[in-house]
Chain A
Amino acid sequence: MWHYILAILPALLSGVQVTLVLFLTTLLLALPLGILVSLGLTSRFRPLRASLKAYVWLMRGTPLLLQLIFVFYGLPIINIVFQRSDAAVVAFALNYAAYFAEIFRGGLQAVPQGQIESAQVLQLSYSQTIRKIVIPQVLKNVIPAIGNEVINLVKDSSLVYVIGIGDLLRAGNVATARDVTLIPLVLVAAIYLLLTGICTLGLRQLEKHYRAWH
């Protein structure tokens, strides 16, 4: 059995690599995009607010799987063609940015107006107030919710299976179908557990860091 595990491990590991690249690119794009959208959602400019609301509603109200299929199989019909991996990144980043935006918006609204006024009478500039007072408090507010989404993303990344990307799940499924054994799928489960476990630990450290000031 160890022999078999060693034999399929390279294929699984290259699947892990695909999964991790998708995970990291999605976070790298969706987090800043989510912050921007959340600022837009609290903006006083009505058309901007309304269109961003519609975007968030659409992204959260339809399945990610549908969005993925739409981007990769649907858009080519109207001549918008993405590479497989680009289609995955586009669909994931747009979807997750909407969830992040809602979380950041809540975090932003939870900072009392009095904090901003307090900074204002102390002569802090707008950008100093945002950097030193607002952002630390928003981050503290949102870490648990963002953490949940990050862990969901590890698992959701397996949806790219449907557009034929060779991620971790596909690597395991291919081996199981070929060799008629459960071992690859069990290994896949173990690797997902490891990845989500690492994320959980990292998030716990971050929460601990912020717990210093309650």
Chain B
Amino acid sequence: MLELQHINKRIGDRQILKDLSLTIPDHAITVIVGPSGAGKTTLLRCISGLSALDSGKLLLDGEPFDPHQRPADRRAIGVVFQDFQLFPNLTVLGNITLAPTLALKLRPAEAEQKAQTLLEKLNISNLRQLYPYALSGGQKQRVALARALAMKPRLICYDEPTSALDSGLRGRVAALLLSLKAEGITQIVVTHDQDFAKTIADHMINVVPIAG
């Protein structure tokens, strides 16, 4: 369980998040909605350690959690970026095995074998030798998800997972997230898409813009 307590965050001289407290329960999908500019991406960046909090704290299972200051804490959070940010200089397999070999110090053979299992689970094992430029949006997203899952995070964050995809793929993304939920993976999803949100959400959190 991830708890956010009294989070404040300003960017420049604008207050983006103000005294925000919320709880992300385990093994469920928490959907974050809110108008454009409300601070949803900012919230994900704080959770994943990309941005520092101005004040407030994060607790993971009741323990203090600080992915911004403590790199080791980042292990717990996986991120699927809105534009995926696959590494263009590495193949699909290279994208997935890079962090496990470098950060978790897995032997390459072991990392590859685990990557293969993930690729099969996500139905993309035929893509393993391709470079990202050759993938469609939906394929890139699956690779980004496999890359995040390879680090065995406690929790996965998605920023607008349907925004870069054909609307026909929405159903498949929803099915994918629900299948991960069935495996007990905790997920946080930021989305604008009401229908998509209703299909997947166990909990909804509404982020509202701060006036001024």
Contact = CB atoms under 8 A, between A and B. Distances in A.
Interface of A: 112, 114-115, 117-125, 128, 132-133, 136-137, 140, 212-214
B89 interface: yes
B89 A213 contact: yes
Contact of B89 (A114, A121, A125, A133): A133
Nearest to A129: B102
B31 interface: no
A57 to B, nearest CB: 31
B69 to A, nearest CB: 13
Contacts of A136: 89
Contacts of B77: 121
B151 A123 contact: yes
Interface in B79-114: 79, 81, 83, 85-90, 98-99, 102-104
B147 interface: yes
B89 A118 contact: no
B87 A118 contact: yes
A125 B72 CA distance: 11
B161 to A, nearest CB: 16
Interface of B: 48-50, 71-72, 74-75, 77-79, 81, 83, 85-90, 98-99, 102-104, 131-133, 147-148, 151
A112 B83 CA distance: 11
Contact of B74 (A121, A133, A212, A213): A121
B98 A213 contact: no
A7 B50 CA distance: 70
A112 B85 contact: yes
15 contacts: A112-B85, A114-B81, A114-B83, A118-B81, A118-B86, A121-B49, A122-B148, A123-B74, A123-B103, A124-B99, A125-B103, A137-B89, A213-B89, A213-B131, A213-B132
A141 to B, nearest CB: 11
6 residue pairs, one from A and one from B, having the closest CB atoms: A122-B99, A118-B85, A123-B103, A213-B131, A214-B133, A136-B89
Contact of B98 (A114, A117, A124, A214): A124
Contacts of B99: 122-124
A117 B131 contact: no
Residue of B48, B75, B103, B133 with most chain A CB atoms under a 10 A cut-off: B103
B71 A123 contact: yes
Contacts of B72: 123
B88 A122 contact: no
A21 to B, nearest CB: 34
Given A118-B79, A128-B103, 10 more contacts: A114-B81, A114-B83, A118-B86, A119-B87, A121-B78, A128-B102, A132-B98, A213-B88, A213-B131, A214-B133
